Structure 1
Amino acid sequence: MLYPLFADLNDRHVLVVGGGDIAARKTTMLLKAGARVTVGAPMLVPELREWVRQGRIAYKAGTYQTDWLEGVWLVIAATRSRPLNARIAADGQARQRLVNVVDDPALSSFQVPALIDRSPLLVAISSGGAAPMLARRLRERIEGLLDPAFGSLVQLAQRYRARIRARYADLTARRRFYDWLHDGPVHAQLRADRPAHAEHQLMTALAEGAAPTTIGSVALVGAGPGDPGLLTLRALRALNEADVILHDALISEPILDLARRDAVRIAVGKRGGSTHTPQASIHALMLEHAQAGCRVVRLKGGDPFVFGRGGEELEFLREHGIAYEIVPGITAALACAAYSGVPLTHREHAQSVRLVTAHCQQSFNTLDWSELARERQTLAVYMGVGQLDELTRQFIAHGRAASTPFALIENGTLPQQRTLTGKLGELPTLATRHAIQAPALLILGEVAAQANVSHWFGELLGDPLLQPAFAPALADAA
């Protein structure tokens, strides 16, 4: 078992033996820690030569000499010769120097861990040199859960530590204050990149003296189109911090499974032909739980501000003085197009993109059909599966050619994704023939034809390789 240790190398001499790319990477970390680095090698890669020229590092030219170890605290052996690395390790052991031999734990007296840097907060992961790739994978997973604002929060707490201890002499009260500092509005302001506001909140709380009460908040979070892999890191952090999750009907179970296990989940779905949660009820739930001091996540499919009523919910929160943040998500038009191989813009075919909703007749009455029917643009129509006949009629009536390509993407980014392609005049017939159901996104424009050649995810309906004429060839191949 290794003894975990964080070394203060500020203004201390460290030797790196080796002049290649690995030596440069190790030197970068040492410089960040404030070490006075000497690199010894016959030759240096350009990055190290530039640092020598700038005076950032010292350079010992030539082959390794034992006296290079004099006066140094740590040694990194980063040469390509194991015998030389073994000699450096033995010399270091004889002189009681800690030596790390890169990728050789048997020769090393200390290991460099996989590091998550939220300076001054550091999280280090080590497998004792037995499985460095696993340590790196664990680092990647934890990296996504640690808010980048933690570094600023630690710095702020460090500056005010003495005043906090003086104000809250009682340990229990001090712990409550730190809980508030870590979970409340100070951290939220730092996350929003408003350090002055965060410090003001802290100073006000210290001046008032009483332990601050827990204040609830709401995060409007975009869950993306359905594939959990498209969830943003900030959305994942919000789900892991949530006390209450108010989620739409289209949020997939794999996404909900990523949330904090003990969070209260409340379905507030809005799906045609089934149970409908009025918007006023959603507002009331956000207010109730936030006023109770909970961290609420309003989890919405796609992006909160693209046909998701996020604007209405934001106005409500602001009117009622509820702290909030907005975490954007990947909207369906971007995701469905990408998963079907359709570029929404193209120099030869489309110089603009329009996002349109066709949810109901009221939506139709507000659309400028003559503008939507113009060529050299891409239309992404949300919630239009139930209106395909009327959509087709209006587009053609206002000048869009019946031969215009379309791609109709059902369950975009999910394992059951299906992409139907064809020409606008055939859209209602083809959609009925293949029983396309909501949720589905319609992409209309010349770029939609790209799905026939660039499609890569899910089933492509009408793929010529699946037609009867190709059946004998497929059978022979089998």
Structure 2
Amino acid sequence: MKHFPIFMAVEGRKITVSGGGEAAIAKLRLLLKTEAHISVFATNPAEEIKNWAASGKLSLKDRPFRAGDTARSVLFYAANEDAAEDARVAAIAEDEGALVNIVDNLNDSQFITPAIVDRDPVTIAIGTEGAAPVLARAIKADLEEKLSPVLGMLARIGKAFRHKVEALPMGRKRREFWADYYFKTGTAALEADGVESLRPTLDSLLKDHLSRSEQPGHVDLVGAGPGDPELLTLKARKALDAADVVVYDRLVAPEILELARREAILLNVGKEGFGPSATQEEINALLIEHAQNGAHVVRLKSGDPTIFGRLDEEIDALDAANVSWRIVPGITAASAAVAGIGQSLTKRGRNSEVRFLTGHDMKGFAEQDWRALAQTGEVAAIYMGKKSARFIQGRLMMHGAAPNTPITVIENASRPTQRIVLTVLSELGNALTEASLTGPALTLYGLAPRAALALADTFDKKVLSL
């Protein structure tokens, strides 16, 4: 992030613009929505700018910008549509302490003006750091369509009521009150009885929420999916949005954690195969402690919590503590991995079943029906199998598996850093050693990419073996 988004207080402060053409007009249309004092310096300013000056919306000086003109200005726009003149005035403004924007010159600007969705006092700023203005405009158009025109009115009335809502405890209780007002009660009152009904509606709503008994906490056991945030389910997204506390595994993608509320407490409990982490008992205690304190807790697990997620242990602990819970399933890594190689886990005439195995549980591995799995056409998805690859290889070959059985290992499935290692059973251990995989990896036994030869350039050639 090269530009940090903030909302600057400009009420009663000075913003200066140098330029009087189309570039200046475009900026002024936006600046005139603020409560700042706008000063414009331009020779031969456009009629629209003259009209704004005549109506008292801005101050206009019909001359070139010069030293001293940005005195006490917080922002300065160089909009002369002339590179040399813009550089001259920008240097003066910067020396005089103003933050400088040179229109259509991202590299020399100290700040940028984002695309804005205006529902005053609700304001949404959209920036792409100059990389994709068309994308910013598309997002703006989408938001303009989705956001109610009365949202600003609801917010203005609600803002004056905020001090009264401090009677409710910080956190969940206040969020529930405002959600009720903005998305249900307030909207309905405005549509039915107009603006005058909003204040009494707020008074009545606050009284109702104050009289409600304290609600107990709750735990959502949520699957974060394989890593791509677009594969997060809508239900999981809503749970994150409502969470007071997020207890997450180390494999959960940072982009998904970004979707949690800024006020939420984020607790990293590790749980990565063979690495340091909190014990399961410590995790159970965290979930219970925060839920019993009235928090909405999201236990965020990579992939799907019902597959090698130690879900039952957490449910048993929550039940024993009389804490309510809900499972929100996610897309498991096997589904993302097999999709990434254009294959299917099952196929008519090839295999009518698929096994999910974990390489982290050596005892469980020792108890597998290796002879059945070694038969031609069988398919297995092996989670956390990097360190146990040679054990898997030996067991399968000992029970008659063909040495040339295809093996595909997908590291960081669904993420931009995804790698595909294609090999055969007899070379599995050596292939993984040579590949030096560092991210989470899933091994697909019995499957090769559908277009293996066409995709060969995407594989690590050092470990490609067919």
TM-score range normalised by the length of the shorter chain: 0.5 to 0.7
Query: What corresponds to 2:300 in structure 1?
Result: 299
Q: Deviations over 1:335-377 (max 9, x none)?
A: 1111222221222433221111111422222322122223323
Query: What corresponds to 2:309 in structure 1?
Result: 308
For 1:391 and 1:271, how far apart are their aligned partners in 2?
20
Q: Deviations over 1:172-208 (max 9, x none)?
A: 78536448xxxxxxxxxxxxxxxxxxxxxxxxxxxxx
Q: 1:273 to 1:239 in 2, by over 3 A?
A: same
Q: Deviations over 1:218-263 (max 9, x none)?
A: 0001000111111111111111110000000111111111111110
Q: 1:137 to 1:347 in 2, by over 3 A?
A: farther
Q: Deviations over 1:389-443 (max 9, x none)?
A: 1100101111211111110111111111110112111111111122123411000
- Cα RMSD, aligned residues only: 3.4
Aligned letter for 2:244?
D
Aligned letter for 1:214?
Q
For 2:138 and 2:460, how far apart are their aligned partners in 1?
45
CA contact (8 A) 1:250 1:301 kept: yes
SS in 1 for 2:450: helix
Query: What corresponds to 2:239 in structure 1?
Result: 238
Query: What corresponds to 2:222 in structure 1?
Result: 221
For 1:222 and 1:365, how far apart are their aligned partners in 2?
28
The aligned runs of 1:88-127 (5 Å cut-off) are none
SS in 2 for 1:443: strand
Aligned letter for 2:397?
I
How far 1:452 moved relative to its partner?
1.2
Aligned letter for 2:352?
Q
CA contact (8 A) 1:392 1:424 kept: yes
CA contact (8 A) 2:411 2:420 kept: yes
SS in 1 for 2:388: helix
Query: What corresponds to 1:207 in structure 2?
Result: none
Aligned letter for 2:290?
H
Q: 1:138 to 1:387 in 2, by over 3 A?
A: farther
Alignment pair present for 1:401 and 2:432: no
How far 1:450 moved relative to its partner?
2.1
Alignment pair present for 1:462 and 2:440: no
How far 1:449 moved relative to its partner?
4.4
How far 1:212 moved relative to its partner?
1.1
Aligned letter for 2:460?
L
- For structure 1, list consecutive stretches of 5 or more residues without a partner in the other structure: 1-130, 143-149, 159-168, 180-209, 468-478
Q: 1:274 to 1:359 in 2, by over 3 A?
A: closer
For 1:442 and 1:350, how far apart are their aligned partners in 2?
17
Alignment pair present for 1:276 and 2:277: yes
SS in 2 for 1:448: coil
SS in 1 for 2:314: helix
For 2:364 and 2:236, how far apart are their aligned partners in 1?
30
How far 1:272 moved relative to its partner?
4.1
For 1:273 and 1:381, how far apart are their aligned partners in 2?
16
For 1:141 and 1:369, how far apart are their aligned partners in 2?
57
The aligned runs of 1:345-364 (5 Å cut-off) are 345-364=346-365
How far 1:136 moved relative to its partner?
3.6
CA contact (8 A) 2:241 2:260 kept: yes
Query: What corresponds to 1:267 in structure 2?
Result: 268
Q: Deviations over 1:131-183 (max 9, x none)?
A: 898544666799xxxxxxx9xx969xx9xxxxxxxxxx99878536448xxxx
For 2:406 and 2:260, how far apart are their aligned partners in 1?
40
Query: What corresponds to 1:412 in structure 2?
Result: 413
Aligned letter for 2:248?
H
Q: 1:394 to 1:225 in 2, by over 3 A?
A: same
SS in 1 for 2:459: strand
For 2:271 and 2:430, how far apart are their aligned partners in 1?
27
When the two structures are aligned, how many residues end up with a matched partner? 286
The aligned runs of 1:63-212 (5 Å cut-off) are 134-136=140-142, 175=206, 177-178=208-209, 211-212=212-213
Q: 1:294 to 1:351 in 2, by over 3 A?
A: same
- For structure 2, list consecutive stretches of 5 or more residues without a partner in the other structure: 1-136, 149-179, 189-199
Query: What corresponds to 1:381 in structure 2?
Result: 382
For 1:352 and 1:138, how far apart are their aligned partners in 2?
49
CA contact (8 A) 2:341 2:448 kept: no
SS in 2 for 1:286: helix
Query: What corresponds to 1:452 in structure 2?
Result: 452
For 1:451 and 1:316, how far apart are their aligned partners in 2?
46
SS in 2 for 1:461: coil
Q: 1:138 to 1:316 in 2, by over 3 A?
A: farther
For 2:451 and 2:338, how far apart are their aligned partners in 1?
9
For 2:145 and 2:355, how far apart are their aligned partners in 1?
40
SS in 1 for 2:448: helix
For 2:146 and 2:405, how far apart are their aligned partners in 1?
45
For 1:442 and 1:396, how far apart are their aligned partners in 2?
16
Q: 1:268 to 1:177 in 2, by over 3 A?
A: farther
Query: What corresponds to 1:434 in structure 2?
Result: 435
For 1:174 and 1:216, how far apart are their aligned partners in 2?
22
For 1:139 and 1:359, how far apart are their aligned partners in 2?
49
CA contact (8 A) 1:342 1:454 kept: no
For 2:249 and 2:437, how far apart are their aligned partners in 1?
21
CA contact (8 A) 2:274 2:360 kept: no
